[in-house]
Chains A and B, each alone.
Chain A
């Protein structure tokens, strides 16, 4: 059976691609990933077996940006808490107690202004937010103006000014633990951290400490390390934390588009044609 396999479509990081698997599939030509993140793959290892790799960059950006905005709004308006109170068996609630944070006029700091980050900026602009961004490289002036985004060359400047900090970077050795104790302490005590990138971009222990001691106000995390978290993890118990199970791209439409992108890449690889979204080891 191993000899028949020419392509793998990776769904939700399965199967795990290791040396053993690659050796058992001598005719494997291509691995197509469902999604844009490739941090779960050893790119050099795969390439060393002469296997091409592709991701699905175009299908994910809108859905992931929507998830980011959904978490920002849910956190700002304390939606999960409010729902739980509304349906709780006890009648002890008073509407006046559940006050949230006004989003209009607040400052959103986007860390990572790739296609997903940019789509978030477009959405946030419609909510009348002030937008700061930090990125490896500065975007073109017209792109900045279209979303009213101000570049922060130093991440510190963004962290100090933002009411909402949204992480939209890909996970690389440079972004690993990008947000640690130092960065959290630079943030406003009234600020919210939203993570839709990868759990490992945040020093999770530092985050727990920061949330417990009021160094920052709240967090909304679609990604953690690991996923799911152990059931006794402190993040599960904090009132000011919204956790979602890596929803990023999980919609009917996005799933369909991702699969289409993957199939395109697989067919191209099997026909010896250039792949539409090939990923090379850097």
Chain B
């Protein structure tokens, strides 16, 4: 299964009586109806850990690109109309700013490790608090209430997986709690954000900017307002898209298939 294709439904499962396993690329499994698959005796596996580093890197890439206006800057630098570079054209400082990480799993933690090197203050919100040593290693402070994180952060980065609990986790209320100078970065799933509320918040300057590797749907319709906002960077879900990682993902998927067909324990099985 690659980029959520083919769609797994009852019809497909009935037509494949000898199907033993569905291997899904990447870590997210929100697109799979696990109950349905298990009811047909089909196993499921993913590629969870290999994607963490590149996805964390993508989060930082988006944070830096947004704050320093790299995309806008490039457009200015290459535009046929540019005669000079304006002296009052400024971005937002990353070093020393506050980063709020929502979802401190493997990916969120790697983002924290990177952000620490930029002397950022790190807050995080998670279902469970991490161990003290883990927190100290990256200098992260736990916010039991997401509101506390939202109110203090200059950058809010979403690194949760999509579940019924995280669906529309960031809506109108959460966006209004954020600073008007803050940036929202999403490397999780489009549905974690109430997208219409986000558009409104950006248009009305309730928040300053957004950088999204994920949207709902992907891709967005070509007339969607997010495509036109100057303060929005959108990338086409490339969090794990490096040659090395994709190769390893393929190898891991093949390995899981081979193990299953040989009747052996399946590596990276999702239970």
Residues of A within 8 A of B (CB): 11-12, 14, 62-63, 65-67, 69-71, 73-74, 76-80, 82-83, 85-87, 89-91, 93, 95-96, 98-105, 122-123, 125-128, 227-229, 231, 236, 242-247, 250-255
CB distance from B172 to the nearest CB of A (A): 24
CB closest residue in chain A, given B229: A87
Query: How far apart sit A82 and B258, CA to CA, in the bound complex (Å)?
Result: 34
Collect the chain A residues with CB atoms within 8 Å of residue B84's CB. Answer: 228
With beta carbons under 8 angstroms apart, the residue of A77, A101, A253 that contacts B93 is A253
Contacting pair A66 B85 (CB below 8 A):
no
Interface pairs (16), CB distance under 8 Å: A63-B95, A66-B64, A70-B67, A73-B61, A74-B64, A82-B236, A95-B218, A95-B236, A98-B238, A100-B242, A102-B243, A103-B57, A123-B117, A127-B60, A228-B77, A251-B67
CB closest residue in chain A, given B221: A91
CB closest residue in chain A, given B81: A231
Chain A to chain B: the 5 pairs with minimum beta-carbon distance, closest first:
A126-B117, A253-B93, A70-B64, A62-B95, A73-B61
> A126-B113, A250-B68 known; 13 other A-B pairs, CB under 8 Å?
A62-B118, A66-B68, A83-B235, A99-B241, A99-B246, A102-B243, A122-B117, A228-B83, A244-B74, A244-B77, A245-B77, A245-B82, A251-B90
Contacting pair B54 A123 (CB below 8 A):
no
Query: How far apart sit A85 and B237, CA to CA, in the bound complex (Å)?
Result: 12
Contacting pair B238 A252 (CB below 8 A):
no
Give the size range of B's interface with the partner. 35 or more
Contacting pair A242 B219 (CB below 8 A):
no
Collect the chain A residues with CB atoms within 8 Å of residue B76's CB. Answer: 245
- Residue B80, interface by CB 8 Å: yes
Contacting pair A91 B222 (CB below 8 A):
yes
Collect the chain A residues with CB atoms within 8 Å of residue B83's CB. Answer: 228
CB distance from B132 to the nearest CB of A (A): 21
Collect the chain A residues with CB atoms within 8 Å of residue B54's CB. Answer: 102-104
Contacting pair B85 A228 (CB below 8 A):
yes
CB distance from A143 to the nearest CB of B (A): 15
Contacting pair A104 B57 (CB below 8 A):
yes
CB distance from B91 to the nearest CB of A (A): 5
CB distance from A208 to the nearest CB of B (A): 14
With beta carbons under 8 angstroms apart, the residue of A11, A67, A252 that contacts B90 is A252
Mark B105-127 against chain A: 1 for CB-CB distance below 8 A, else 0. 00000000110111100000000
Collect the chain A residues with CB atoms within 8 Å of residue B53's CB. Answer: 102, 104, 128
With beta carbons under 8 angstroms apart, the residue of B91, B116, B233, B242 that contacts A251 is B91
CB distance from B216 to the nearest CB of A (A): 14
Contacting pair A253 B73 (CB below 8 A):
no
- Residue B96, interface by CB 8 Å: yes
CB distance from B92 to the nearest CB of A (A): 6
CB closest residue in chain B, given A85: B236
Collect the chain A residues with CB atoms within 8 Å of residue B90's CB. Answer: 250-252, 255
Collect the chain A residues with CB atoms within 8 Å of residue B82's CB. Answer: 228, 231, 245
Query: How far apart sit A158 and B116, CA to CA, in the bound complex (Å)?
Result: 27
- Residue B191, interface by CB 8 Å: no
Collect the chain A residues with CB atoms within 8 Å of residue B152's CB. Answer: none
With beta carbons under 8 angstroms apart, the residue of A12, A103, A251 that contacts B68 is A251
Query: How far apart sit A177 and B114, CA to CA, in the bound complex (Å)?
Result: 33
Query: How far apart sit A12 and B88, CA to CA, in the bound complex (Å)?
Result: 10
CB distance from B135 to the nearest CB of A (A): 16
With beta carbons under 8 angstroms apart, the residue of A76, A77, A83, A127 that contacts B114 is A127
- Residue B87, interface by CB 8 Å: yes
CB closest residue in chain A, given B57: A103
CB closest residue in chain B, given A236: B78
Interface centre among A86, A104, A105, A123 (most CB of B within 10 A): A86
If A73-B61, A80-B74, A102-B244 touch, whether A95 touches B237 (CB-CB below 8 Å) is: yes
- Residue B13, interface by CB 8 Å: no
Query: How far apart sit A10 and B167, CA to CA, in the bound complex (Å)?
Result: 51
